[in-house]
Amino acid sequence: MSEFEPRRAATVSFRCGAVALLVLLAAAPALAASALDRTQSDHMAPPPPDGNLPIAPPIVQYALPPQWMTIRSKEDWRKAGKFEKELSKDCAALRFNEISPLRFRAYFKGEVMGVAFGHGLNLRDPGKKADRKKIYLFHNGDSTGCTVQSMDNQDPRVNPAAGQATTPTGSGFKKY
């Protein structure tokens, strides 16, 4: 049988308390210091305040990918095709719009417009209002101020009347 020794228990608890107090006293300066004081002085020094650094990265205009640029013209976009009033209302109500905005683009004298094709490429048309033989141009296509213009598709595979009357091959591709 062991006998409880109060003197020994008091000595052990005193030693544990003293060790904990020493650890806290040793760590107190590090805990009281700010984050900048705890790091090394040469670690990621702040930039000098001379004002030469930009606030944000510069805006760089990259050329649009050529495979997506479907129409390029020097005329004004308002003269590009026929204004479609009903389709513009549907576009503003999100009932006639592009699936991927600006996936295909038309460039008219500084304005970039979204392009969708009447046969369904990049076109969301649940009401089936599109004409298969048209190309639709969307100005501000992602807003309620959307305007839609239509123009004839000159591709003979889609619109034989607009292209050649007869094609040299049966598939619609011209051989060179």
Q: Render pLDDT for 89-110 as a digit per residue (tens, 0 to 9).
A: 999 999 999 998 888 889 888 8
E-only strand ranges, 12-122: 69-73, 82-83, 97-98, 105-108, 111-117
> What does the CA dihedral 160, 100, 88, 112 come to, rounded to 10 degrees?
-80
Does the pLDDT value for residue 59 go beyond 70?
Answer: no
**Tell me, what's the pLDDT at 17?**
73
Q: Sketch the domain layout of the chain as residue ranges.
A: 69-152
One-letter amino acid of 77:
W
Q: Render pLDDT for 10-33 as a digit per residue (tens, 0 to 9).
A: 666 767 777 777 776 666 666 666
Extract the tokens encoding 89.
């209302």
